[in-house]
Amino acid sequence: MDIYNLTCPDLVSLPTVHIKLVHYANHPITCVLGVLANEAGLQIQQEMFKWIYKFYNIISVTQDAPGTLYEYPAIRFAQWYSIQNNMPILYLHTKGAFNQTPIQNTIRNMWQFEFSVYHDWYVENAMTLNDFVGCPFTDGQSTWFNGWVANTSAFSHINKIPISTDRYTYETGLWNTGMQVQVTGRLLNNAEFTNLAPMWDIVNIFKT
């Protein structure tokens, strides 16, 4: 275990990827924040740091714009770091950096509420359950909007995460491991992704 070792072998040869330990306070869960390094992404990063550091250690995995690797660098680092250190990971990203629409800010507000107010729920489950992946909404295998907490035993069921030009590899396909990992939704466990209305009713509470 070496929490200060950030040298993921699969990422060291990628010149557009930069990894930094931003904050460490011996929290039980480390947040790996995927950052798109355009103007909007760097602003969103600072906004998110303000609440994340109160509850989580923070490592930023920054990708130079335009971000053609999608979420690969941050998620691959999250998997590697969790396995190296036997540590649960909160994975988030600078949502809205690429697609700057008002709903992205609403989703970030929801993340802030979810992963701070219900921080203890995520910690308890990640530290005590085998193969835990938790998020606000799931159909059992997908994490809506791709913000989640996962522990090391869950990561161990995924083969080494590939580089893909299909962003949905990371957004909806990551935890489809043949039911070896059952994603737990704190709010909804049986979400129907063909009928998003119930989830939007909740998310829209966080409009500003």
Percent of the chain with pLDDT over 90: 67
pLDDT reading at 167 higher than 90: no
Asked whether residue 4 is domain-assigned, the answer is no
Q: What's the total number of domains in the chain?
A: 1
71 neighbors 171 (Cβ within 8 angstroms): yes
Segments forming the whole domain that contains residue 173: 17-206
Asked whether residue 123 is domain-assigned, the answer is yes
- Residue 80 has a pLDDT of 96
Sheet holding 133-137, edge to edge: 17-23, 57-64, 30-37, 89-93, 148-150, 133-137, 184-188
Asked whether residue 2 is domain-assigned, the answer is no
Asked whether residue 6 is domain-assigned, the answer is no
The CATH number of residue 174's host domain is: 3.90.550
The 3-state secondary structure of 30-42 reads EEEEEEEECHHHH
- Residue 177 has a pLDDT of 64
Give the residue among 34, 111, 19 at the shortest CA–CA distance from 67.
34
Asked whether residue 126 is domain-assigned, the answer is yes
Radius of gyration of the chain (CA): 16
pLDDT reading at 176 higher than 80: no
Percent of the chain with pLDDT over 70: 98
Asked whether residue 7 is domain-assigned, the answer is no
Asked whether residue 160 is domain-assigned, the answer is yes
Alpha carbons 64 and 130: distance in angstroms, whole number: 35
CA angle 67, 70, 75 (to 5 degrees): 125
- Residue 165 has a pLDDT of 85
Asked whether residue 29 is domain-assigned, the answer is yes
